[in-house]
Amino acid sequence: MPNKPAIWKKSYTWVLVANVIYILLFCLIMEMYA
Partner 1 sequence: MQQIDWIVLSVTLLFIVVYGVWKTRGSQNVEDYILGSNETPWYTVGLSVMATQASAITFLSTPGQAYHDGMGFVQFYFGLPIAMVVICYTFIPIYHRLKVFTAYEYLEQRFDLKTRSLASILFLVQRGLGTGLTIYAPAIILSALLGWNLTLMNIIIGVLVIIYTFAGGTKAVNVTQKQQMFVIMTGMFLTFFLILHLLPNDMTFSNAMHIAGANHKMDIVDFSYDPETRYTFWSGITGGFFLMLSYFGTDQSQVGRYLSGKSVRESQMGLIMNGFLKVPMQFFILLIGVMVFVFFQFNPVPLNFNPNNKIAVEHSKYKNEYHLLENKLDKLSEEKKEINLLYMDHLNQNYDNPILRKELVALSSKENDLREEARELIAKADGKAETNDKDYVFIHFILNYLPKGLIGLLLAVILSAAMSSTASGITALASTTAIDIYKRNVKGQKNEKHFVNATKFFTLMWGIIAILFACVGTLFENLIQLVNIVGSIFYGTVLGIFLVGFYIKYVKANAIFLGAAFSQLTIFYIFYLDVVSFLWLNFIGSMLTILLSVFAQMFLKSKTVVEV
What is the binding site for partner 1 (CB under 8 A)?
A: 8, 11-12, 15-16, 18-19, 22-23, 26-27, 29-30, 32-34
Smallest gap from residue 30 Cβ to partner 1 (A): 5
Coil, helix or strand for 34?
Answer: coil
- C-alpha dihedral over 8, 13, 19, 21, to 10 degrees? -120
Torsional sign, CA 24, 28, 34, 15: negative
Q: How far is the CB of 13 from partner 1 (least distance, A)?
A: 9
Nearest to partner 1 of 1, 32 (CB atom):
32
